[in-house]
Amino acid sequence: MAWRAASPRLRAHLLLSRHRRRGIASCIDPSAGLTEEQKEFQKVALDFATKEMAPHMAEWDEKEIFPVETMRKAAQLGFGGIYVRPDVGGSGLSRLDTSVIFEALSTGCTSTTAYMSIHNMCAWMIDSFGNEEQRHKFCPSLCSMEKFASYCLTEPGSGSDAASLLTSAKRKGDTYILNGSKAFISGGGDTDVYVVMCRTGGPGPKGISCMVLEKGTPGLSFGKKEKKVGWNSQPTRAVIFEDCVVPVENRLGAEGQGFNIAMKGLNGGRINIASCSLGAAHASVLLAQEHLTVRKQFGEPLANNQYLQFRLAEMATRLVAARLMVRNAARALQEGREDAAVLCSMAKLFATDECFAICNQALQMHGGYGYLKDYAVQQFVRDIRVHQILEGTNEVMRMIVARNLLQV
Ligand SMILES: Cc1cc2nc3c(=O)[nH]c(=O)nc-3n(C[C@H](O)[C@H](O)[C@H](O)COP(=O)(O)OP(=O)(O)OC[C@H]3O[C@@H](n4cnc5c(N)ncnc54)[C@H](O)[C@@H]3O)c2cc1C
């Protein structure tokens, strides 16, 4: 019982290890329904989360450390290019496999895993839409995480209405000259490869192209590091282009295809970010379960209180429902089904909203302790709040679902 005397932070880490050893309640077991192979790499990811991430997540948050070496270790396990093809260093796994891995990693540090999910999305975009030269040039060092990537769509004046972006790319001989800026770029300034959506044609989505820029390109610079509520283990900065010269050979796909590439990337990105929410919610349910058992009020453990029992049961039910939605969307995307994009939006909307509510309820169950930074639950709440905002806000997810329903 030495672990009960440990600091709350260390306890959170030890708790995850203990649940790993003893097994968790069958009703919320994330390995339920998986193949033996999926259970194997889920175990690898959970081990990594427990040993390499969970002990450091508070420090990474507090000191705003981007844990480059830890991510490179994760890449050695194949987590740098999970759904990238193997001939360029990827693991060649399915979208469902990817979701299982991100959910597991996120129990150890949601913010770091969420950045890794964006990096994986960028690597997949280059693998899927790049020509052979581009795939072989960029993907191997991204899959090994020797280099890190950022996805650059949002601008100061275009967020939800992403197709109105203004960053311009004017053709000049064998180059494009980029001018404009991107806002809120995850990894911005610390990463090496920038997948940038910019305007090569007229207004609207059809005028947008996608370019890959490398750090060090003349005319490429970065804004100040943003101060954030959560996601503190990864930097967020503006990315600025001032007469930035990009060779034509760095364009992914044809001119005008960029918006389509960006949205295709986001279908998977939405499942990935929802999976990160699942991991945070799963860890928070375990923390709440433990706290209710240990904490005594009115002469008995909180766990004896039927109101709190029912709330915990609701949290577990919502977690399992969210996981089913995410895995269903991942399968649809893997199969290339026509309904995949809308199912990804539904899953992102449902899972990120439900998981935030679960983490917040877990914090409530901790009472005043939940509000202290010594207790891990508050970090899960802070880290997943932004999942309702980015990769398309949850209002934009509702728009996508409604358009599909009403065919408008
Ligand atoms: C920490 C962080 C990291 C990020 N990382 C990246 C990144 O790596 N790359 C990247 O490209 N972007 C990134 N983003 C940007 C993110 O995708 C945008 O913030 C998001 O798309 C919303 O855009 P906005 O902030 O401009 O909000 P706005 O579009 O101004 O929206 C404001 C509010 O109005 C709502 N709204 C807007 N239009 C409608 C409508 N028609 N109907 C109903 N409601 C509406 C929105 O849902 C939102 O609630 C990041 C953001 C954050 C906070």
CATH of the domain at 182: 2.40.110.10
To the query of whether residue 40 is one of the catalytic residues in this protein, the response is: no
Q: What is the chain's percent helix, strand, coil content, to nearest 5?
A: 60, 15, 25
Are residues 94 and 186 located together in one domain of the fold? no
Are residues 394 and 267 located together in one domain of the fold? yes
Are residues 293 and 385 located together in one domain of the fold? yes
Instruction: Give the model's pLDDT for residue 19.
Output: 64
Are residues 106 and 169 located together in one domain of the fold? no
> What residue's CA is closest to ligand 1, atom 48?
393
Taking the centre of ligand 1 as the mean of its atom positions, its distance from the CA of residue 393, in whole angstroms, is 6
Q: Residue 406 above 80 pLDDT?
A: yes
Average pLDDT over residues 71-77: 98
| Nearest partner of 280 among 30, 8, 20, 5, judged by Cα | 30
pLDDT classification of 2: cutoffs 50, 70, 90: very low
Of 22-26, 28-32, 63-67, 74-78, the range with the lowest mean pLDDT is 22-26
Instruction: Give the model's pLDDT for residue 256.
Output: 98
Q: Residue 18 above 50 pLDDT?
A: yes
Average pLDDT over residues 146-156: 98
Give me the percent of the chain exceeding a pLDDT of 70: 94
Which residue's entry shows tokens 């090496």?
Answer: 192
Domain range for 240 is: 149-256
Angle of helix 377-385 relative to helix 258-294, nearest 10 degrees?
Answer: 160
| Nearest partner of 232 among 66, 56, 13, 377, judged by Cα | 66
From its phi and psi, is residue 226 left (phi > 0), alpha (psi between -120 and 50) or beta? beta
Instruction: Give the model's pLDDT for residue 3.
Output: 43
Structurally, the chain folds into a number of domains equal to: 3
Q: Residue 4 above 90 pLDDT?
A: no
Taking the centre of ligand 1 as the mean of its atom positions, its distance from the CA of residue 269, in whole angstroms, is 15
In this structure, which amino acid lies at residue 34? L
Sorted by sequence, the CB contacts under 8 Å of residue 352 that are 6+ apart come out as: 273, 274, 277, 384, 387, 388, 394
Q: Residue 290 above 70 pLDDT?
A: yes
Q: Residue 21 above 60 pLDDT?
A: no
Are residues 274 and 379 located together in one domain of the fold? yes
Are residues 37 and 102 located together in one domain of the fold? yes
pTM (two decimals): 0.96
Instruction: Give the model's pLDDT for residue 221.
Output: 98
Distance (Å, rounded) from C-alpha 315 to C-alpha 401?
Answer: 25
Average pLDDT over residues 184-202: 98
Q: Write the CATH number for 364.
A: 1.20.140.10
Helix (H, G, I), strand (E, B) or coil at 187: coil
Q: Residue 181 above 60 pLDDT?
A: yes
- Atom in ligand 1 nearest the alpha carbon of residue 392: 21
> What residue's CA is closest to ligand 1, atom 27?
159
Q: Residue 323 above 80 pLDDT?
A: yes
Instruction: Give the model's pLDDT for residue 7.
Output: 67
Instruction: Give the model's pLDDT for residue 117.
Output: 98
Are residues 286 and 382 located together in one domain of the fold? yes
Are residues 265 and 211 located together in one domain of the fold? no
Beta-bridge mates of residue 185: 237
Q: Write the CATH number for 81.
A: 1.10.540.10
Q: Residue 15 above 70 pLDDT?
A: no
pLDDT (tens digit per residue) in 106-115 = 999 999 999 9
Distance (Å, rounded) from C-alpha 399 to C-alpha 387?
Answer: 17
pLDDT classification of 24: cutoffs 50, 70, 90: confident
Are residues 29 and 135 located together in one domain of the fold? yes
Using CB atoms within 10 A of its CB, is residue 229 exposed (0-12), middle (13-18) or buried (19+)? exposed
Are the beta carbons of 282 and 19 closer than 8 angstroms?
A: no
Which residue's entry shows tokens 């996608």?
Answer: 210
Are residues 282 and 365 located together in one domain of the fold? yes
Mean predicted lDDT score pLDDT of the chain: 95
Are the beta carbons of 232 and 111 closer than 8 angstroms?
A: yes
Taking the centre of ligand 1 as the mean of its atom positions, its distance from the CA of residue 79, in whole angstroms, is 27
Q: How many CA atoms lie within 13 A of 26 on its CB side?
A: 1
The 8-class DSSP code of residue 216 comes to: T
Are the beta carbons of 64 and 122 closer than 8 angstroms?
A: no
Instruction: Give the model's pLDDT for residue 1.
Output: 35
| Nearest partner of 220 among 249, 200, 248, 191, judged by Cα | 191
Pocket of ligand 1 (CB under 6 A): 118, 150-154, 159-160, 184-186, 228, 231, 236, 386, 389-390, 393, 395-396
- Atom in ligand 1 nearest the alpha carbon of residue 395: 47
Domain boundary among 108, 126, 143: 143
Q: Residue 11 above 90 pLDDT?
A: no
Measured distance between the N- and C-terminal CA atoms of the chain, rounded to whole angstroms:
60
